[in-house]
Amino acid sequence: MFSQSLVRPSEGVGVVFRTKPSLPDTDRPLKFLCTVIFLKIIGRKKNMARPPKAPAYLDEIAVRQWKEKSRQLSGREDLTPADWSNLELYCVNYSIYRKAVEDLATRGFSIVNSQGSESRNPALSAKADAERIMIKMASLLGFDPVSRRRNPPETEEEDELDRLA
């Protein structure tokens, strides 16, 4: 296993990541992680104007969700590179949720297992887990009304002190 660490003690930022360089799929997450770390360390461009492309491994459902939600996020102009990993989790779990709902509609709440007896459809657990993660990520990203009220977008209103100057 290949390890690299990136530490900048003066700013108290450090990260260790591991990957196998022989696997082609590891290049993209590694580049994304390095970009996030680089932007955090140098403090360059905290708010991103345009969202990055969806990760290559996302399926069609997750990519559609990525495009829709990234447009919402970039419209608020309060994006940081840290938001994209939360959006990725949201989109992956949205896809899992949709597939689980489809499976429940097709096969029902109980299935016949390999021993011939009826058991609970595993899609129920997958759906519940995906819902839990989606709710958490939606709150962190400001997709639900409560979190939007808690963290309203900053507006550039003229302050009385600004008028006096």
pLDDT in tens, 21-77: 444 555 555 555 555 555 554 444 455 557 788 999 999 999 999 999 988 888 877
User: Three-state SS for 13?
Assistant: strand
More confident position, 19 or 95:
95
Whether residues 39 and 55 fall in one domain? no
Residue 33 lies in a domain: yes
Whether residues 6 and 84 fall in one domain? no
87 is in which domain, residue-wise? 47-151
pLDDT band at 159 (very low <50, low <70, confident <90, very high): low
pLDDT at res. 84: 87
d(CA 16, CA 27): 16
Residue 109 lies in a domain: yes
Handedness of CA 15, 18, 22, 28 (dihedral sign): negative
Note whether 32 and 38 are within 8 A (CB): no
d(CA 160, CA 165): 9
d(CA 82, CA 147): 17
Output b/e per residue, 80-98; b: 16+ Cβ within 10 A: ebebbebbbbbbbbbbbbb
Residue 158 lies in a domain: no
The total domain count for the chain is 2
d(CA 20, CA 130): 28
Give percent above pLDDT 70 in the chain: 57
d(CA 158, CA 56): 44
Whether residues 28 and 74 fall in one domain? no
pTM of the model: 0.61
Averaged pLDDT for residues 138-155:
73
More confident position, 82 or 135:
135
Q: Is the pLDDT of residue 123 over 90?
A: yes
Q: Is the pLDDT of residue 93 over 90?
A: yes
99 φψ region: left (φ > 0), alpha (ψ -120 to 50), beta (else): alpha
Q: Is the pLDDT of residue 105 over 60?
A: yes
